[in-house]
Amino acid sequence: DDGRNTVRFFTSEMNARLQRNKEVLTDLAESLTKEHFELYYQPLFTIDQNILVGAEALIRWHHPEKGMIPPDQFIAVAEKSGLINELGDWVLAQACREIKNFLNAGITVFKVAINISPVQFRRKDLLQHMLMILAQHDVSAELIELEITEGAVMDNVDQAIETMQALHDAGFQLAMDDFGTGYSSLSYLKRFPIQKVKIDRSFISDLENDDDSKSITTAIIQMSHSLGLHVLAEGVETEEQLHYLQAEKCDYVQGYYTGRPIPASEFIKNFSESKKG
């Protein structure tokens, strides 16, 4: 009896979830045509001098009834359905439009980082397609950094390396996102044509009370440097974390401590030339 109840319980749970996912998907598709999305930008700084070197674009969904929905609640659904490809196209196009505004406002020496879903990364026509969007907006690939996760590259490493090399040859910068959480070993870093490693937030948030996280963070920084890669620490929330990362010679910092994700207009207000002096 217990067994049957348990099964029935999970089944209705699953049905409810499927139903929710279907609703999310319908709403997502509709929102895409109505432009209910927005990119927020989180500043990326050098670890010591606090020089602004770029921003990570993070998608926000303004649901007509439910208000703002964070990406964790819809990216996975979009990935399962394939809608992520269209969403990803919108992200790149929007980033292109807003980069021009950043440059016009005097925010130079600056790159915008966008997140590439594993589903997008495996598209055969990914490079062609992205170059077409860049051309439509008259933006150079040198201004864009692509953040790729280990999950996107590990199931077919050779193919992934080819894709990454082609993207880099076309001018894009490549960063390995959420590093340390996936399956890839440090030794793979040597084979990947990437320029930057982003240490996952989980290690940074544990820095103050977990010696293992300290060791791992230090090891990632040293290993990356010995391979000629730059290192960024994400999710930095405290001065203590920043000081540790400075002492360990991490290159870049991103986190609430140095700046939260904000709308493009606010980003320009905070970081345009006139505000610097």
Q: What is the distance between the alpha carbons of residues 145 and 219, in angstroms, rounded to a whole number?
A: 24
**Number of CB atoms found within 10 A of residue 13's CB:** 10
Three-state DSSP class for residue 113: strand
Q: Is 205 in the site for Ca ion (CB under 5 A)?
A: no
Taking the complex as a whole, the smallest distance from the CB of residue 11 to ligand C2E amounts, in Å, to 30
Measure the CA dihedral 157/93/125/185, to 10°: 0
Nearer to Ca ion, 27 or 115 (CB): 115
Nearer to Ca ion, 46 or 181 (CB): 181
**Number of CB atoms found within 10 A of residue 240's CB:** 12
Q: Is 256 in the site for ligand C2E (CB under 6 A)?
A: yes
Taking the complex as a whole, the smallest distance from the CB of residue 272 to ligand C2E amounts, in Å, to 22
Nearer to ligand C2E, 10 or 256 (CB): 256
DSSP 194: -
Judged by CB under 6 A, which stretch of 9-17, 71-79, 121-129, 166-174 contacts ligand C2E?
A: 71-79
Nearer to ligand C2E, 16 or 85 (CB): 85
Contacts of 41 (CB under 8 A, 6+ apart): 55, 56, 57, 58, 98, 112, 261, 262, 263, 264, 267
Taking the complex as a whole, the smallest distance from the CB of residue 28 to ligand C2E amounts, in Å, to 13
Q: Number of residues interacting with Ca ion: please give it, by CB under 5 A.
A: 4
Taking the complex as a whole, the smallest distance from the CB of residue 9 to ligand C2E amounts, in Å, to 30
Q: Is 115 in the site for ligand C2E (CB under 6 A)?
A: yes
Q: What is the distance between the alpha carbons of residues 254 and 269, in angstroms, rounded to a whole number?
A: 19
Q: What is the 3-state secondary structure (H, E, C) of 120-167?
A: HHCCCCHHHHHHHHHHHHCCCHHHEEEEEEHHHHCCCHHHHHHHHHHH
Instruction: Note the helical H segments in the chain.
Output: 2-34, 75-81, 84-104, 118-121, 126-137, 150-153, 157-169, 186-189, 201-205, 211-226, 239-247, 264-271, 273-276
Rule CB under 5 A: which of 138-177 touch Ca ion?
Answer: 147, 177
Q: What is the distance between the alpha carbons of residues 175 and 21, in angstroms, rounded to a whole number?
A: 30
Taking the complex as a whole, the smallest distance from the CB of residue 262 to ligand C2E amounts, in Å, to 10
C-alpha atoms less than 13 angstroms from C-alpha of 87 in its C-beta half-sphere: 32
Rule CB under 6 A: which of 195-254 touch ligand C2E?
Answer: 201, 234-237
Q: Are 78 and 88 in contact (CB under 8 A)?
A: no
Q: Is 248 in the site for Ca ion (CB under 5 A)?
A: no
Nearer to Ca ion, 58 or 126 (CB): 58
Q: Is 91 in the site for ligand C2E (CB under 6 A)?
A: yes
Nearer to Ca ion, 150 or 178 (CB): 178
Taking the complex as a whole, the smallest distance from the CB of residue 155 to ligand C2E amounts, in Å, to 17
Taking the complex as a whole, the smallest distance from the CB of residue 10 to Ca ion amounts, in Å, to 29
Which one of ligand C2E, Ca ion, none interacts with residue 117, CB within 5 to 8 A by kind?
ligand C2E
**Footprint of ligand C2E on this chain (CB under 6 A)?**
42, 58-59, 70-72, 75, 91, 115, 117, 177-178, 201, 234-237, 255-256, 261
**Footprint of Ca ion on this chain (CB under 5 A)?**
115, 147, 177-178
